[in-house]
Structure 1
Amino acid sequence: QTVTGIDQEGRRVEAAIVHERPLTLFLNGQEIVTMMTIGDYPDYLAIGYLLNQNMLRADDEIVAVEHDEDLQLVIVRTARATDYEAKLKKKVRTSGCAQGTVFGDLMESFSSVRLDTDGVSFWVESVEDLLATLTVPRRAKDRERVVRLRAIQRGVRAD
C-alpha cells in the first residue's frame, strides 16, 4: 500500500508501507488470539499457528476452516473437542521485532526436546539452500509480492 506524507523539508512524498490488519483466530468456538497479518493465506496462517502452539495435533482431523474477511476472523473446527482455557491464561512474550506470544506449556516442552546427533552431518550451504527452497513462493505472483515486501521491510527492519 502507498501512503502520502510530508518529508522533513515539507515536500509531499509517497511511501510504500506494509499494511497489517488484525485477524482473530478461533478453534472450535474458543477465541485463541488476535494477530496482526498482511492478510495473505489466513487459513494457512491459522492452521500453522495452532500447530506451532501445540493446539492442533498431527493426527487431528480438521473438518472446517472458515475465513470471514469482513469480521476479520478465522474459525478452525476439528473432529476432536478442544479446551485451552487453562493454557491461554499463561502467556509468554517473545523477543524480536514481532513481539510474539506463546501460550502455556509450549515453553516447558522445549526442555524435553532432544536432537539425536548420531551420524548427523551437513554443510552450511545445504541448510542455506533448504531455507531458500522453503522461503521462495511457488507462484510468480507470490514471488513478486515477496520481493516487494522484502524491499519495503529492509527500510524498516534490520534483517
Structure 2
Amino acid sequence: MKEFEVSPDISDPRLFEEVEGLDHEGQTFSIPVIVEKPLALYLNSREIVTMMTIGDYPEYLAIGYLLNQNMLSPSDQVTGVEYDEDLEVVIVRTENEADFEDKLKKKIQTSGCAQGTVFGDVMEKFEDVALDQAAVLKTSWIYELSRKINRQPSLYLKVGAIHGCVLCEGNTPLIYMEDVGRHNAIDKIAGYMWSKGISPKNKIFYTTGRLTSEMVIKTVQMEIPILISRSGFTAWGVELARQAGLTLIGRAKGKRFQCVSGIDRLEFDADPEAVMEEDRKHQRKGSQ
C-alpha cells in the first residue's frame, strides 16, 4: 500500500458547515465546524445501535463496529452492506442470522465519547489473542509517523473537534480515518482492513485519542501489536496492554514519548536531540 492510501477528504462539503458568532471582543466571525449525524446500524433485521458519526465511510464503520464488538467474526459470510444516506441507516447482511439478545441485554457504557458502547463481555476474545512477539518498533518510526501524520491535511487541522486514527507499517502511514469519536475512527479502519483483506502483521496503530481500555481492547482484537498515541493513558488501559503483551506508547509529541508496556519491541535507533520540536501550527491538544 502507498502512503496515505486513504486519508480525510477535507474538500467534502458534507463534513462541515459554517457557523457565525461573536468573539471575546464582540466581533462577528464565521468558522467551519464539523457535522455529526446519527447512523442506525442493523445486522440483518436487528437494530444494533445508533452511532453519532461524520458520515464518511459508513460501510466500513458498520463492519468494523460489528467485528470489534464480536458480533461478526472474520469467518462470517457477509452477503451485502446497504447504506441509505437519506434514512441514515446502514444494514449489514450475513448468510446466517445470529441471536445477540443476551449481549444486547448486557449493554454497558464505556469511557469513549459519543456513543462509545460495548455489548456483552468486553473481555470476550481478548484473552485468546496472541500478538506478534517478533514485531519491532524503531524509535525513528515514532518520530517520522508523528511528523507525517501531523502535517497531513485533515479535518482536525481544518475544523478541529475530531479524533484521528491511522494504520501504519514501519514509518509509512497507510489508512487515516477521522470521526467525532476515536472508537468510530478505529472501527472504520477495522472495517477497511477486513473488506480489503489487509493483514495486521507488522502493522502499527496510531491515534490522537486517550489510551483507554476500549482503545487497547479494540487494537488487540484487531491483532495489531503496537499502539501509539499523542495523548495519555488510563490505568486499566495500561493493565490490559500488559496483560495482552501490547506495546503501548503515549504522549508521543516532538522528541518525547513514554512506553509503559511491550518495551521489548523498542529499538532505539534515533537521537532524540536531533528531532525537531513540533511547529505550533500542527500541535494537537493532548486531551483528545
Q: In which range does the TM-score fall when normalised by the shorter chain? A: 0.7 to 0.9
In structure 2, what is the equivalent of residue 54 of structure 1?
Answer: 70
In structure 1, what is the equivalent of residue 160 of structure 2?
Answer: 153
Deviation at 1:55, TM superposition (A): 1.0
Structure with more contact order per residue of length (Cα contacts < 8 Å, sep ≥ 6): 2
| Residues in 2 aligned to 1:68 and 1:14: alpha-carbon distance in whole angstroms | 31
- List runs of 5+ in structure 1 lacking aligned partners: 137-142
Give yes or no for contact 2:80–2:92 (8 Å, CA) kept in 1. Answer: yes
Instruction: Give the count of matched residue pairs.
Output: 148
From 129, 138, 153, the counterpart of 1:123: 138
Q: What secondary structure does 2:102 align onto? A: helix
Say if 2:86 is the partner of 1:70: yes
| Residues in 1 aligned to 2:87 and 2:43: alpha-carbon distance in whole angstroms | 16
Deviation at 1:129, TM superposition (A): 6.1
In structure 2, what is the equivalent of residue 37 of structure 1?
Answer: 53
Q: Deviations over 1:30-80 (max 9, x none)?
A: 000000110101111111111111111111111111111111100110002
Is the alpha carbon distance of 1:120 and 1:77 closer, same or farther for their aligned partners in structure 2, counting shifts above 3 Å? closer
| Residues in 1 aligned to 2:143 and 2:101: alpha-carbon distance in whole angstroms | 39
Give yes or no for contact 2:22–2:29 (8 Å, CA) kept in 1. Answer: yes
| Residues in 1 aligned to 2:147 and 2:103: alpha-carbon distance in whole angstroms | 34
| Residues in 2 aligned to 1:128 and 1:98: alpha-carbon distance in whole angstroms | 30
Give yes or no for contact 1:21–1:38 (8 Å, CA) kept in 2. Answer: yes
Identity %: 51
Q: Which amino acid is 2:111 matched to? A: S
Deviation at 1:110, TM superposition (A): 2.7
Is the alpha carbon distance of 1:128 and 1:56 closer, same or farther for their aligned partners in structure 2, counting shifts above 3 Å? farther
Q: What secondary structure does 2:51 align onto? A: strand
Give yes or no for contact 1:24–1:31 (8 Å, CA) kept in 2. Answer: yes
Is the alpha carbon distance of 1:92 and 1:27 closer, same or farther for their aligned partners in structure 2, counting shifts above 3 Å? same
Give yes or no for contact 2:40–2:89 (8 Å, CA) kept in 1. Answer: yes
Give the TM-score normalised by the residue count of structure 1: 0.76
Give yes or no for contact 1:65–1:77 (8 Å, CA) kept in 2. Answer: yes
State which drifts further: 86-95 or 45-54. 86-95
Q: What secondary structure does 1:49 align onto? A: helix
State which drifts further: 15-24 or 2-11. 2-11
Q: What secondary structure does 2:67 align onto? A: helix
Give the TM-score normalised by the residue count of structure 2: 0.45
Give yes or no for contact 1:30–1:83 (8 Å, CA) kept in 2. Answer: no
